[in-house]
Structure 1
């Protein structure tokens, strides 16, 4: 069998050059896409910040948010929906932090109240310091609820302190931004199981961090569990915002 001679050195060099050029062009296109996406995200954040400041009417510099905390676009979307309710808003936040003063400001403007839940005592102290600094003590109840193992093995907040803090109120906005992922697999999945009975008929539910695979699985599990009762609102990418409609039995009460 005849063996083909190796290509001349010129052909090998030309082939390698073409490959390198393709790699450069691919990297350039990727860089342009990322730069464009970054500019678009920055523009959205600026628009959200302007809306929050103009609507909340606060002259205080509230703590920056983003990263693993609720970001400005999500906060702006929540505020917009609260304002459209046209009534006092009762907000329940799972996982306190830099976003807590923002939710307290929203609740205060709507004549409502915020209950913020935190499992870590150090975070409780830090969040309480923020609330004291911004004079939000009267509109926010900060609840320490330690994590306890559930029947499925997942750790979630002790529900008793939460139920005690909410009392007879119905929750208009539930923000699920905790427990943190490091507390165990699908750490946020039990939220609706425990808290769905506390929700108002037209309550808004916000599941943050759905860019992560674990939160996507939590959302899928909720969609299977609640079916058509879970109505998605395609407002922002970073979080899933939806309404959990009451059952027929609850609606007839």
Structure 2
């Protein structure tokens, strides 16, 4: 870790800002708090963390959830949101208890999980909005089944058609976009938690339990793939690019 390595001097401000993700991290605030709470609950259930300690940590996380991101110290020196949350919990529960928040997990599996949680939520939102567009197009088409209009091909008038025919062409296309994003969602909704830095942990954790608590369908079984892959985000981006190409028309 750059900030606690072999260098004894204070990090240059420019270098600190360059290596910090604080500017972008607010988007994953809610998932990070939820991930930490689910992880601590699992640790308590597995007997890895004492229940009094787990209650204090979850109480601190609950307090943070109510306060919101404004309750965090987001200085670049802390590097990222994950460290800021840990600092907050330690401030509330004390270092001896709060420091146990990091037991059997890494920022690597945590950020990979948070990204998937944000992405799946946004996919569902976009699907819902696109479905509303399809419904609006179908309603308008129903009122224009006899409204004649010219159909074009190669920028020239080709055949007569109706406005309803024109509108439902878009409705059908956008329906495929909804389906395409749904298929991407299926691969996004896999849980990386428990992979830790890349090779798991010696603690007897339950990856399935954390996955269940966070609403995932299943865990990503290969821990290295869990923390290193971002292809699910690329797949979602591809679906969104195709959707936008239709909307641009």
- TM-score for the superposition, normalised by structure 2: 0.25
Of Structure 1 and Structure 2, the greater strand share is in 1
Of Structure 1 and Structure 2, the greater helix share is in 2
Choose between structure 1 and 2 for higher RCO, CA contacts under 8 A separated by at least 6 residues: 2
